[in-house]
Amino acid sequence: MSRDAAVLFANDAFYLAFATRDMAAMDDIWARRAAVSCLHPGWAPLTGRDAVMESWRGILGSPDSPQISCANAQATVIGDVAVVVCGEILAQGTLAATNVFAFEDGAWKMVHHHAAPAPPPETAAAGDDAPPTLQ
């Protein structure tokens, strides 16, 4: 398996754990050596494994935990770190995510997750010159 494929496999495992509310898998997906951080949509940034795992316990244990799937994931591997950019499809709308992984003890582990609202892929106008907005 190429390094890109291995990273995308780890990214898929993250969304599978999210969709199936599998907290044990989610815990295993996140790095234990590198410092971790997480920006959930509309939340203040979380730093440190304890805070990040607490957030996932709350999300995955909630009856409002969203159904989610990943789309259009693209990985860039730089040494032992990889950046994945992908879409997240939820019933409520579409998000875009940055997921960062580090190669740690023989496996790609998540060190950072940032998800935020983005236009759905079919209306995406990548490369237009509109200024960024807050919406």
How far is Cα 18 from Cα 59, in angstroms, rounded to an integer? 9
Is residue 114 involved in binding a copy of itself (CB under 8 A)? Answer: yes
Transcribe the chain into DSSP letters: --HHHHHHHHHHHHHHHHHTT-HHHHHHHB-SSS--EEE-TTSPPEESHHHHHHHHHHHHTSTTPPPEEEEEEEEEEETTEEEEEEEEEETTEEEEEEEEEEEETTEEEEEEEEEEE---GGG--TT--PPP---
Q: Establish if 124 lies at the interface with a copy of itself (CB under 8 A).
A: yes
Identified binder of a copy of itself from the candidate list 5, 57, 67, 69, rule CB under 8 A: 57
Which of 1, 2, 24, 125 lies at the binding interface for a copy of itself (CB under 8 A)? Answer: 125
106 lies in the binding site for a copy of itself (CB under 8 A): no
Task: Give the C-alpha separation, 55 to 61, whole Å.
Answer: 10
Q: Is 35 in the site for a copy of itself (CB under 8 A)?
A: yes
Rounded least distance, CB 119 to a copy of itself, Å: 6
Q: Which of 24, 64, 105, 106 binds a copy of itself (CB under 8 A)?
A: 64
| List 32, 95, 105, 108, residue binding a copy of itself (CB under 8 A) | 95
Main-chain phi, psi angles of 11, to 5 degrees: -65, -40
Residues forming the site for a copy of itself (CB under 8 A): 34-35, 37, 39-47, 51, 54-55, 57-59, 62, 64-66, 72, 74, 76, 78-81, 83, 85, 87, 90, 92-93, 95-96, 98, 100, 102, 111-112, 114-119, 121, 124-135
